[in-house]
Structure 1
Amino acid sequence: MSTELATTRMFFREAVRRAVEEEMARDPRIFVLGQDVGSFGGSYREFDGLFAIFGPERMRDTPVAEAATIGIAAGAAAAGFRPLAVITYMDFLMLGFDALINYAAKLRYKTAGALTAPMVVKTTAGAQGQGVAHSQCIEAWLMSVPGLKVVAPSTPADAYGLMKSALRSDGPVVYIDHKRLFPTPGNVPVEPAIVPFGQAAIRREGTDVSVVCHGYMVRVALEAADLLAGEGLSCEVIDLRSLAPMDVETLAASVERTGRLFTLEEGQVTCGVGVEVATRIFARIGNRPWSRLGALPAPVSSNPVLEAACIPDPARSAAAIRALVRP
């Protein structure tokens, strides 16, 4: 008898919407606040139809005021609600860092566990023609904050499952999606299902090198692996999914099998996600050959040619992997 779950096909943005609708119906303490989340249905249509179901009390439009949005969410969470604060561009998440980092992430510690901040901040990262202040990936900044969970889905199934986990978490959680992923389709379980934090996913098995990535870069890595397969080079592609907590066990086991590590990210490599991945793996199994690729050390231009030159693509990723495996 097959144990595979029945699935249905949907877009990434639809998977986000489904998770939010199910969790709001399950828990009346959940409400959404942010720019355009009400009758408009979200900047990327990821909340389409929820205003008609839950009304303005639970789908609350806010001004362009990210610091206030996160501050209100943190206060509401401390008071017993479970807010989902939506920050359209990750670049402007930093306006709310005081409330997120100095209050929400530390609340449990400040009160000896008497208070928590069960809030989710959903924010959209990555480059897609919108220029220097709307294209950044700063998840590595967030990974260093004690008390903060950070997740980044790459598939509709994980967009669904990780959002459900986030809305059930005692938080705070930063849920990072990517502009280029919203219109991508995929299979999502028909029955409600969560994706636990701290579990990476092996998207492609391989023997020559472990490629560790997250978010949109998973698609880039899989395309690069396809290119290299034609040359007889076998890549194991691992999707972090959860950056904090991180599934070091799965990562270390993969690198121990393949003997090499390649980290791929859209953010900066300086103090980046890849550095943390490599450090944790090598602390467990000892040093192995390692290479990394990320965005160039320059602001991401709105010019499509310059944007493409700045961000890793399959061809450049394949070239960097090839240089690591066959120097």
Structure 2
Amino acid sequence: MSSEAPATHKMFFREAIAKAMREEMRREPRVLVLGQDVGAFGGSYREFDGLFAEFGAARVRDMPVAENATIAIGAGAAAAGFRPLVSITYMDFLMLGFDPLINYAAKLRYKTGGRLCAPLVVKTTAGALGQGVAHSQCLEAWLISVPGLKVVAPSTPADAYGLLKTALRGDGPVVFIDHKRLFPIPGEVPVAETPVPFGEAIVRRAGRDVTIATHGFMTLVALDAAASLAERGISCEVVDLRSLAPLDLDTVAASLRRTRRLVTLEEGQPTCGIGAELAFRLFQRLGAHPHARVGALPAPVSSNPVFERACIPDAARVRDAVLGLLAAPSPAIPEQERP
């Protein structure tokens, strides 16, 4: 058996999304794209380039600036047998579509005793990039509390490609969260079709002293912090969650058993955030352990670049959190996990 690594080619994050969409639209004629500027323009971040030319207006449909109606149409089309992807340019405006997403799509399987489902993917773009208080939020922590809703957040082109393919093939609904700062970042993507399963985190950097658990663009921030701390002889393990609902607790718990210290990192608010949920679930499983949460400051994200940088976590804040944990004594984690 050959031990050679799978063939890959380098592409930008946005191109990996277009590759996944193109392949799935060729494979499954029921896959549609709905959203603002998704047609001839190719998407606000050019992540749908070439789809309109190949599949036409019947399957790549420009929608008005009406997020509630767009998600409602997508949810209804999904219930009727189509497999739509609805593009919401800014995650902030996903709130306008919460009623059809949460009260209809996420509950449809439950309300019909499993007779209907909504294979809907809502792709939305989070994060700060100089666009101000209503175009910069990361609201994924709101979404993971909704039963019936899957939530994923890739950090690499390969995972954007693989997670999107899984989302488009599943029963849904799925919220696929990308980040403005990720679109121009390149990476290796498999040549062969390679879906990435939901519920599987990945260790991006092995380490022994501290576990940093994060997702999305903050994975790159965590890796920068880990590289800086390595110069001081501090070894950080970076775990990219990738899937927020379902959440892979096993991979993070295995890492924490080795390092005995946890830093959670997110661009959203740490209050009732992803990190708070993760830390509590790990406490339930492993008992008490030193941990720190790093997230946005409790303030709206300003369009002023100085204030924006002050609000959003960076590698320096992650380093400070790690150093603070290392300065405190670390209790032993019990050999047997709690039930």
Superposition TM-score tier, normalisation by shorter sequence: over 0.9
Secondary structure, counterpart of 2:308 in structure 1: helix
Q: Distance in 2 between matches of 1:161 and 1:109?
A: 28
Amino acid at match of 2:320: A
Larger deviation: 211-220 or 312-321? 312-321
Q: Distance in 2 between matches of 1:319 and 1:224?
A: 10
Aligned to 1:292: 293
- Encode CA deviations 1:117-149: one digit per residue, 9 max, x unaligned: 000000000000000000000000000000000
Partner of 2:314: 313
Report matched runs for 1:107-256 at 5 Å.
107-256=108-257
1:260-271, aligned counterparts within 5 Å?
260-271=261-272
Secondary structure in 1 aligned to 2:56?
A: helix
Give deviations 1:199-229, integer Å, cap 9, x for gaps: 0010000000100000000000000001100
**Cα drift, residue 326 of structure 1:** 2.2
Moved more, 1-10 or 100-109: 1-10
Instruction: Show the counterpart of 1:14.
Output: 15
Q: Distance in 1 between matches of 2:136 and 2:273?
A: 16
Output the CA distance in 1 between the equivalents of 2:140 and 2:52: 30
Most deviating of 271-280 and 171-180? 271-280
Q: Which amino acid aligns with 1:132?
A: V
Matched length: 327
Compute the RMSD of aligned alpha carbons: 0.6
* Other-structure match for 1:95: 96
Q: Which moved more, 1:282-291 or 1:263-272?
A: 282-291
Counterpart of 2:335 in structure 1 is: none
- Deviation (angstroms), 1:3: 4.2
Partner residue in 1 for 2:333: none
The CA deviation string for residues 165-189 of structure 1, in whole angstroms up to 9 with x for no partner, is 0000100000000000000000000
Instruction: Tell me by how many angstroms 1:319 deviates.
Output: 1.2
CA deviation after TM superposition for structure 1 residue 325, in Å = 1.4
In structure 1, the residue matched to 2:337 is none
Q: Segments of 4+ in structure 1 off by > 6 A?
A: none
The residue number in structure 2 matching 1:36 is: 37
Looking at structure 2, the residues matched to 172 and 71 of structure 1 have their Cα atoms a distance apart, in angstroms, of 12
Mark the runs of 5 or more structure 1 residues left unpaired by the alignment. none
TM-score, with structure 1 as normaliser: 0.99
- Distance (Å, rounded) in 2 between the aligned partners of 1:254 and 1:306: 34
Secondary structure, in 3 states, of the residue corresponding to 1:109?
A: helix
Alpha-carbon deviation of 1:2? 1.8
Q: Provide the residue aligned with 1:323 in structure 2.
A: 324
Structure-2 separation of matches of 1:49 and 1:145: 34
1:239-270, CA deviations, whole angstroms, 9 ceiling, x for partnerless residues? 00000000001011110111011000000000
CA offsets per residue over residues 48-107 of structure 1, 9 Å max, x none? 011000000000000100000000000000000000000000000000000000000000
Secondary structure of the corresponding residue to residue 56 of structure 1? coil
**Equivalent residue, structure 1, for 2:280:** 279
The structural deviation recorded for 1:152 is: 0.1
Q: 1:294 corresponds to which letter in structure 2?
A: G
Q: Secondary structure at the match of 2:275?
A: helix
Equivalent residue, structure 2, for 1:79: 80
So what's the TM-score if we normalise by structure 2? Answer: 0.96
In 2: Cα distance, 1:262 partner to 1:27 partner: 41
Amino acid at match of 1:45: R
SS in 1 for 2:57: helix
Q: Give the Cα separation in 1 of the matches to 2:293 and 2:325.
A: 9
Q: Output one character per residue of 1:265-318: Cα deviation in whole Å (capped at 9) or x when no partner.
A: 000000000011111112111111101100000000000000000000111211
**Residue 257 of structure 1 corresponds to which residue in structure 2?**
258
Amino acid at match of 2:307: L
Structure 2 CA distance, aligned partners of 1:272 and 1:198?
18
Give the structure 2 partner of residue 68 of structure 1.
Answer: 69
Q: Secondary structure of the equivalent of 2:133?
A: coil
